[in-house]
Amino acid sequence: MRIALVLVVLLGSVGCSKDATKDFEQFADRACACADKKDASCAQGVVDDLVKFASQNKNAHGDETTTKATGQRMGMCLVQAGLDPTKLRSRLQDLGE
């Protein structure tokens, strides 16, 4: 899934020496809770918070294997919650630039 790849690249580019793996997992958990409720506005809040986190933690890093799986899970949950995949991908790609 392309969205998951964008999320993984985002974490890699979030770039302080903070290990953001657990933070990333928490975002995925929140996204999946939104999916359980089929709540697109909840999911949009997760994306907004992820973007804010990424901009505030430019030097963060994470375990690549874990973040890849977490990114896939988060992407699927965000779409299941009702976010438009194209708009989501665009928002996340803008952040990575």
Domain range summary for the chain, segments of one domain joined by + = 2-96
- pTM here is 0.80
Mean per-residue pLDDT, 1-23? 60
* SS3 label, residue 61: strand
pLDDT of residue 18: 72
Confidence of residue 34 (pLDDT cuts 50, 70, 90): very high
Confidence of residue 16 (pLDDT cuts 50, 70, 90): very low
Mean per-residue pLDDT, 24-49? 96
Confidence of residue 14 (pLDDT cuts 50, 70, 90): very low
Q: Does residue 89 register a pLDDT over 60?
A: yes
The tokens describing 91, both together, are 């928002």
CB 42 within 8 A of CB 33: yes
Mean per-residue pLDDT, 59-63? 81
* SS3 label, residue 83: coil
Phi, psi of 86 (to 5 degrees): -65, -45
